[in-house]
């Protein structure tokens, strides 16, 4: 039996396979150079064009470009009335930014557990936790799989709550026959370096209300009634007002130009990631030592591929498994340590291990396998071989 690389054996591949890698070429380079040579690199013509193109892509009336998905969530929560004395329900199986954005407003974070089969927030647990203080629900489309939006929207409409979708993983996701980006009251996307559409950093809020979109555009830039492009971009248009407090959350033209080129490739990139995931699904389906997620009707964005270790049948912890897989030169990730287990959230929310058992079962046994468009068939085979090698050596006899 082959020795694990971490124990001195030969790794499954010579060169390390990174977990995530942006896919860009000369088109993005030309777009960036065009903006640099234009003399205008902050929010302007490119940013406004990207807003329109992205909104059209998801089928929303409005798109508001911002500096990150966290910024998008924060702004949407402010408009939803999140503040001290109010509560917002979300999932603990998410990146910490989802909960952080709620805390920025002064509102209290209330977690609802997830469905073990899908990893998505459980609508029945959401309904149990709604009370007179609740102002919003923030579902997360975990790993690009669609959250149960029909059930969540029914709860929200019955209780007059705002739904803000965390779609950081879900640029290409459909929930049933509806595209993510036009279902909830607000949908927040991420264009971070590892995301399916990237411009290094950035985010977008899509919505159907043009009046609220105008308010978001003021809020993203200090509450000013005119941004710099309107003041200085082509014609001097006089002064401006600051009708309310805002933030510094605008997206630059340099980023937007890159994002516009990425948007043109979304479908091609999606099909390449789909091919990677299909191979993973075929191999790991019914595997005795790991399990995978199932999901409801809709289209998966294939942001990453989570597997969940059957730790009771392994002689390694999840972290030991990760270290062994990394030594085989296979990059992998963890998505996510449940937020309520972090020390800050245990302290301020008075939570403890065991409060959300399903999220803990998934989050503490999860490993994310690499999924990106430039992966070759050999990369996928090596990943599968690396995981299987570690599983074989770690299986309890």
> For the sheet containing 186-190, what is the strand order?
62-66, 203-207, 186-190, 162-166, 134-138, 87-90, 108-111
- CA 318 – CA 277 distance, rounded (Å): 22
Cβ distance 74 to 101 under 8 Å? yes
One of 10, 133, 195, 282 is an active-site residue; which one? 195
211 is catalytic: no
Q: Select from 136, 21, 22 the least CA-distant residue to 79.
A: 136
- CA 91 – CA 356 distance, rounded (Å): 10
Q: Select from 27, 48, 11, 16 the least CA-distant residue to 264.
A: 27
Cβ distance 55 to 61 under 8 Å? yes
Q: Residue 210 contacts by C-beta under 8 Å, 6 or more apart in sequence?
A: 61, 62
Tokens of 159: 């209780």
- For the annotated catalytic residues, the residue numbers are 195
């Amino acid at each position: 039996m082959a020795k694990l690389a971490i124990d001195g054996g030969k790794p499954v591949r010579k060169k390390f396979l990174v977990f995530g890698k942006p896919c860009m070429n000369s088109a993005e380079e030309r777009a960036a150079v065009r903006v640099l040579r234009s003399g205008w690199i902050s929010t302007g013509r490119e940013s406004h064009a990207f807003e329109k193109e992205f909104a059209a892509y998801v089928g929303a009336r409005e798109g508001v470009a911002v500096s990150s998905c966290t910024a998008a969530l924060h702004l949407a929560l402010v408009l939803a009335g999140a503040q001290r004395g109010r509560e917002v329900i979300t999932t603990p199986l998410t990146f910490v930014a989802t909960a952080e954005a709620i805390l920025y407003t002064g509102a209290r974070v209330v977690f609802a557990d997830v469905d073990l089969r899908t990893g998505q927030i459980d609508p029945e647990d959401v309904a149990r936790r709604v009370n007179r203080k609740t102002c919003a629900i923030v579902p997360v489309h975990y790993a690009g799989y669609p959250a149960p939006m029909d059930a969540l929207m029914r709860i929200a409409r019955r209780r007059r709550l705002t739904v803000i979708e965390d779609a950081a993983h879900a640029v290409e996701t459909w929930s049933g026959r509806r595209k993510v980006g036009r279902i909830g009251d607000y949908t927040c996307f991420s264009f971070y370096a590892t995301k399916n559409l990237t411009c290094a950093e950035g985010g977008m809020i899509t919505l159907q209300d043009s009046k609220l979109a105008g308010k978001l555009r003021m809020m993203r830039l200090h509450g000013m009634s005119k941004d710099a492009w309107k003041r200085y971009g082509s014609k001097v248009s006089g002064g401006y007002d600051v009708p309310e407090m805002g933030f510094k959350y605008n997206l630059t033209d340099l980023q937007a130009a890159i994002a516009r080129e990425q948007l043109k490739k979304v479908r091609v990139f999606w099909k390449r990631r789909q091919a990677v995931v299909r191979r993973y699904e075929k191999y790991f389906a019914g595997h005795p030592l790991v399990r995978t997620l199932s999901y409801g009707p809709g289209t998966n964005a294939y942001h990453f591929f989570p597997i969940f270790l059957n730790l009771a049948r392994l002689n390694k912890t999840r972290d030991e498994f990760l270290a062994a897989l990394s030594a085989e030169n296979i990059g992998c990730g963890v998505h996510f340590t449940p937020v309520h287990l972090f020390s800050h959230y245990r302290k301020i929310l008075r939570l403890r291990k065991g409060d959300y058992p399903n999220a803990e079962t998934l989050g503490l046994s999860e490993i994310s396998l690499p999924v990106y468009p430039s992966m070759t068939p050999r990369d996928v085979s090596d990943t599968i071989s690396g995981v299987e090698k570690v599983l074989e050596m770690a299986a309890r006899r």
